[in-house]
Amino acid sequence: MSRRTWTLLTSVALVVVFGLLGAFARVPYVALGPGPTYNTLAAEGGVPVVRIGEEKTYPTAGHLNMTTVSVTDQLSLFGALGLWVSGRYALAPREVYFPPGKTEKEIERKNTRAFRHSQTAAETAALRYLGYPMKVVADRIVRGSPADGVIAPGDRLIAADGDPVTDPPSLSAALSDTRPGERVQITFQHQGQSPRTVTVQLAERPDDKPQGFLGVNPVARPDVDFTIDISLADVGGPSAGLMFSLAIVDKLTPGPINGGRFVAGTGEINAQGEVGPIGGIGFKMVEAREAGATVFLTPAENCAVAEPQAPEGLKLVKVSTLTDATEALAAIRAGQSPPTC
C-alpha cells in the first residue's frame, strides 16, 4: 500500500471517527431556549389553567400568558454546536440543572414542589390583594419538636399562650418571652373539627436563641369557602406566580384586567404579593413576542438584563408587587404609560 493511499485511508478513518463522536457522544451541557407559553385565562388540554369553584367569577378576554424556558438535555457535540450557532439557544453546564447524585425523578419532584408552592403563594397574594380574610395555618412541623404529633400541617393556629394568632409574626411575638421547659397553651383547629387547646412544653431552639421552641412554621392562607385549582402539566418552578395571581384577580373582578390585550410576563411571587426576579428572561421575552404579546410584565430586578434584550414591539412594564402589576394594567387600559424598564 502506497504512502498516499495510507494517508487517504487514515484521513477517512479520522473523519468517520470524528463524525461518529460528534453525532453520538454526549456533551456535559444542556441547551436553554424559549419554551412554551400558556394563557392563564384559557384552558390547556380541555382543563382551565386557573379554575375557581363555588365563587362568582367574571368573563375574561385576551391573554395573560405565563412564559417558560426549555431545557434540552442529552446533547451530542454536533447537536450542541448547532443549537448554539443558531443564536436562539445558550449552553449551560448540565450539572446546574441535573446535579450529580440526583435522579431525574428527584429533580422532577423538586421542580413540582416549587411549582405548587408558587401556586399557593399566588392564590394567597391574589386573595389578600382583593381583601379576602386571612388565617394562619401550620405549614411545616419540625420533626421531634414539641408540636410534632400534636399539630399537623394545615391546622389553623388560633392562639398561643393566651394571645390571638392573627398573622405569622404574632405567633413568634406570643412566644418571645418564653424559655425552654416552659409550658404554654396552644389553641388550634384541625380541618373540619372544633378548635382545641393543648398544653405543650417548649424546647430549646436550634439557633440557640433564648426563647422557647414550638416547632411550627406559620403561614398566612386565605380564609375562604371556595377553592382555586391551578392545573398545568409538565411545568415546574416558581416563575409563573405573578401571572397566576393576575389570572385569579381577573376572574374575581368585573372587566378584563388586561383590556383584552395580549399581555405576557413572568416573576416569582410571595404571599405578600412581592414579585421576585427569575432566570432566562431573554428566552421568555422571545417566546412571548413570537406568540403575539405586546406587553411584558417584568420583575424590577430583571429590568437591567431584560431591557437590552427586549424584542422589537414588546413593551417591558416594570413591577415589584402585584399592586404594581394591576396599576400598570389599569394605566394601559386608560391609554396611559405605566413604569417601564
Contact 318, 303 (CB under 8 A): yes
Contact 66, 37 (CB under 8 A): yes
Residue 300 burial (10 A CB sphere; 0-12, 13-18, 19+): middle
Is 209 catalytic? The answer is no
**Using CA atoms, how far apart are residues 243 and 227, in angstroms rounded to an integer?**
18
Taking phi first (over 0 means left), then psi (-120 to 50 degrees means alpha), and beta for anything else, what does residue 18 get? alpha
> Within a 10 A sphere around the Cβ of 30, how many other Cβ atoms?
24
Query: Sign of the CA dihedral 207, 210, 211, 213?
Result: positive
Is 56 catalytic? The answer is no
Choice among 118, 145, 251, 284 that is catalytic:
284
**Using CA atoms, how far apart are residues 341 and 338, in angstroms rounded to an integer?**
10
Choice among 145, 239, 245, 251 that is catalytic:
239
Catalytically annotated residues: 239, 284
